[in-house]
Chain A
Amino acid sequence: MSSTGRVKMPAVLENLQAITECVTAAASSAGFSARRIGDMELALEEAVTNVFKYANPGNPGEIEVACASGGGKFSIEIRDSGQEFDITKLPDPDLSQDISERPIGGLGAYLIKKIADDVNYRRLSGFNVLTLVFNLEIKK
């Protein structure tokens, strides 16, 4: 069964829950497991909070999240008009560092890359477009 969702709202933390609910409702009606939906929720939170924090410093713009299922996959597209920011190019954190050495932060993009089955970034006519794809089955 195919299922879609779309939401467009100001890119502020207060809207995290509404954005998440739009996506999890669509994934749930498409038949994805609670565990896979948990993965989506995490990757989505990491992606949208990055937009909230960095896309439009001092002046939150809008964020648009669209999702759709099909062919055993679920894709989530996150679009914002903020400054260009490609999370796929960020270096991976050094996981061997101990508590004092570890920098605070820098794990969000890494979690997205580890959890989503495919992560794709494009800069399209002034928009950041990040697409996260999840297979029905858990990533090995």
Chain B
Amino acid sequence: MNIAAKKESNALVVTVSGRMDAVTAPEFEKSIAAFIAQGEKAFVINLSGLEYISSAGLRSILASAKRLKEQNGKIIFSGLQGHVKEVFAISGFQGIFKIYDSDAEGLKGI
């Protein structure tokens, strides 16, 4: 899994690629926690390069979202593909998170 962040005017765009599984998912949660500690409160998570996600990945996303919600922050998603889109649908994450096709739309919608 690779995580890259880019600061935009109204949010931090975090691009996650590769695999978010039981081994790598804790890294995502740690990265988001570190960004929150630095004062970031609005996140667009770009998953267009994420090939695989398991419940461990969903768990780290939900934990990050809960942490942000406590601080009146926001987290939205962009670019979900194939397998990841399907897992978001099955687990009901599609219903609890805002999901956009692109970062640009996400930045407008956040």
Per a CB cutoff under 8 Å, which of A16, A93, A96 touches B23?
A: A16
A-binding residues in B (CB < 8 A): 21-23, 52, 54-56, 58-59, 62-63, 65-66, 69, 82-83, 87, 90-92, 95-97
Least CB separation from B53: chain A residue: A42
Q: For A115, list chain B residues within 8 Å (CB).
A: 90
Total A-B pairs, Cβ < 8 A: 64
Q: Are the CB atoms of A105 and B22 closer together than 8 Å?
A: no
Q: Does A104 contact B (CB under 8 A)?
A: yes
Per-position 1/0 for A69-106, Cβ under 8 A of B: 00000000000000000000000010111111010110
Q: Is the interface of B mostly helix, strand, loop or mixed?
A: helix
Chain B residue nearest to A115 in the complex (CB)? B90
Q: In the complex, A35→B82 CA distance in Å? A: 9
In the assembled complex, which residues on chain B have CB atoms less than 8 Å from the CB atom of A107?
A: 55, 58-59, 91
Q: Taking chain A's interface residues, is the majority helix, strand, or loop, or is none over half, making it mixed?
A: helix
Interface size class of A (residues with CB under 8 A): 20 to 34
10 interchain residue pairs of minimum CB distance: A95-B92, A108-B55, A107-B55, A49-B22, A45-B54, A99-B65, A38-B83, A114-B90, A107-B91, A99-B69
List chain B residues, Cβ under 8 A from A100: 66, 69
Q: In the assembled complex, which residues on chain B have CB atoms less than 8 Å from the CB atom of A59?
A: none
Residues in A lying within 8 Å of B, measured CB to CB: 13, 16-17, 35, 38, 41-42, 45-46, 49, 52, 93, 95-100, 102, 104-105, 107-108, 110-111, 114-115
Given A38-B52, A42-B54, A99:B87 Cβ within 8 A: no
Nearest B residue (CB) for A38: B83
Chain B contacts for A111, CB-based, 8 A: 54-55, 87, 90-91
